[in-house]
Structure 1
Amino acid sequence: MSAPQPNVFLLAADSPNRLIPVLREDPSLASAQDEHGYSLMHAAASYNHLDLLRTLVNELHVDVDLKDEDNETALYAAETMECAKVLVEELHADITVRGDDGKTAREKIEEDGDFPEVAVYLRIKELEGDGALVNGVPPPIANGTNGGRAPPPLPEGVSVNIGTMVPEEEGEVVDPEFRRRIEELAQREDFEGEGGQNALRELITEAIRGEAGHDRDVRRRTS
C-alpha cells in the first residue's frame, strides 16, 4: 500500500525544505493550484520562502506569473522587500500584471497599506521601467537637493500614515532600525515639508538597496 501523498500546500507553509525533495520526485506537483487558483508560488511568496520560490521557477520551471482565480500572481502575496526583489530581479516577475480589479501588485499592496516597503520598492521598479530612474537613482535636476538629484516619489498615503504604517498587531515586522529612523523623521517639525519628505524618500531608497538594515524577523501572516 503506497503512502498517502503529502499536502504540498501545508508543506509550502511550514516545511519548505521537506517539500522541495517531494517536488523533485514528482515535478507535476510544482504547478499545483487549489480550487481558488492558489499555488505553491503564492504560498512561497506569502511565507517568504525564497529558496522554494527559486526552486519552483529555476529548477521546476513553474511560471513566475502563475495566476490565481483573481488573476493575481505571487507578487501580490509578497510581504517583504526581500521576497519582492527575488521575484522581480532574480525571477523576472512581471510588475505590470493587473488582476481582475484592474490593479497591479504595487497598487493592491499600496491600497491595503500593510507592507509599505514592498509598495515603495515596486514603485521604484516602475520608475526604472519608465526611464525615470538611472541605476536606481533619479536623474540630476537643477537646484535640487541630495547632490542635485530628486528623490523618487512615495506611494500615496505613506507620508500621511507614517506613524501607523507598521501595525504589529497585523503581523508585519519591519527592520527595527528602519522603523526607528522613520519614527524619528515623523517627529520632525518639517516632516510634511520638502526637507522631511526628502529625508524620508532617501531612507526608503537606502532600505531598497539593502543599506538601512540587515536582520529581519519575518512572521507568517495571521489571517
Structure 2
Amino acid sequence: MPPRQVNVLLLAADNPSEVLVLLRGNPSLASTQDEHGYSLMHAAASYNNLDLLRTLVNDFHVDVNLKDEDGETALFVVETVDCAKILVEELHADITIVGDEGKTAREKFAEENEVPEVAVYLRMKELESQVNGTSAAPTTNDVHPPPPLPEGVQVNIGTMAEEEAGEVVDPEFRRRIEELASREDFQGEEGQRALRELITEAIRGEVGEERQVRQRTS
C-alpha cells in the first residue's frame, strides 16, 4: 500500500532517494499535491533536491510550472542559484509566471529580500530574453528594457565574453556580479548590502547605463 500523500511530501525534505524508490513503485505519486497545491516539485525545489527535480520532470513528466493554491510554481521557492538554473535552463521553467499576488518569482524575491543572488540571476535571464528578442517577464516595477539588437544578432549573457558585449550588456555589471559571488564576506552584512544595491540597479533597468552601474572610486 503506498504511503499517504503528506508523507511523500515530507520525505522529500529528508530522504529524496527514498522518494525516488516510492515513485518507481507508484508513478502516480509524482504529480501529487496537498490541499494547498504544494507538490513534490515545490518540495524538491525548496530543499534543493536537484536529482529529484530532474527525475520528476524528465522521467515522470511532471509539469515544471505546476502551481500551488497561490499560483506559484517551484521557481518561487528555490533557495539557491544552482536550483534556479536547473529549473530555468535545463527544465525550461517559465520565469514570466505571475502568482496571485501579482509578482513574478524574481519580483517576490527582490521585494522580500530573500535569496538575493537568485533575484539577480532571474533578472539576468529576463534581460537575456529581452536582448534576444524572446518574451520578457511582465513586471510590476518601472523597468525599462535595453534597446533591441539588430536583426539576426543574439547574445548569451551567461557565456558571452566582455569584448563581445559591446553596448548591449555592460561588462562592468557582469564583473560586479562575479566579484560579489567570489567575496569571502558575501554572506556577511557588507556583502549582502552590496548585493542588495546591485539588485536595485538591475530591477530599475539601469543595467546598461555605465554611469549608474559603475562603483564610485572617489
**TM-score of the two chains, using structure 2 as the length reference:** 0.67
Q: Give 3-state SS (helix, strand or coil) of 2:34's partner.
A: coil
Task: State yes or no: 1:25 paired with 2:21.
Answer: no
Deviation at 1:45, TM superposition (A): 0.4
CA RMSD of aligned residues (A): 3.6
8 Å Cα contact 2:54-2:91 kept in structure 1:
yes
Q: CA deviation at 1:110?
A: 0.9
Provide the secondary structure at the position in 2 that maps to 1:53: helix
User: Counterpart in 2 of 1:42?
Assistant: 42
Task: Compare the two structures and name the one with the higher helix fraction.
Answer: 2
Cα distance, 1:59–1:141 mapped onto 2, change above 3 Å: same
The C-alpha deviation readout for 1:126-149, integer Å capped at 9, x for no partner, is: 00000158221584139x9xxx74
Partner residue in 2 for 1:61: 61
SS at match of 2:11: helix
Q: Give, as a single letter, the amino acid of the residue that structure 1 aligns with 2:16.
A: P
Matched to 2:166, the amino acid is P
Show the 5 A alignment for 1:185-200.
197-198=213-214
CA contact (8 A) 1:141 1:150 kept: no
Cα offset for 1:151?
Answer: 2.3
Match of residue 156, structure 2, among 127, 135, 141: 135
Q: Residue 107 and residue 66 in structure 1: after superposition, are their counterparts in 2 closer, same or farther (change >3 A)?
A: same
Distance change in 2, residues 1:178/1:97 (3 Å): farther
1:177 is matched with which residue: 169, 181, 184?
Answer: 184
Q: For 1:19, what is the secondary structure of its paired residue?
A: helix
Change (3 A) 1:141 1:86: same
Moved over 2 A (4+): 2-6, 148-152, 174-178, 180-187, 194-200
- Identical-residue share of aligned pairs (%): 56
Matching residue of 2:81: 81
> What is the identity, as a one-letter code, of the residue corresponding to 1:141?
E
Runs (5+) with no aligned partner, structure 2: 132-145, 147-153, 202-209
The number of residue pairs the alignment matches comes to 172
Assess, with a 3 A threshold, how the Cα gap between structure 1 residues 99 and 3 changes in structure 2: closer, same or farther: closer
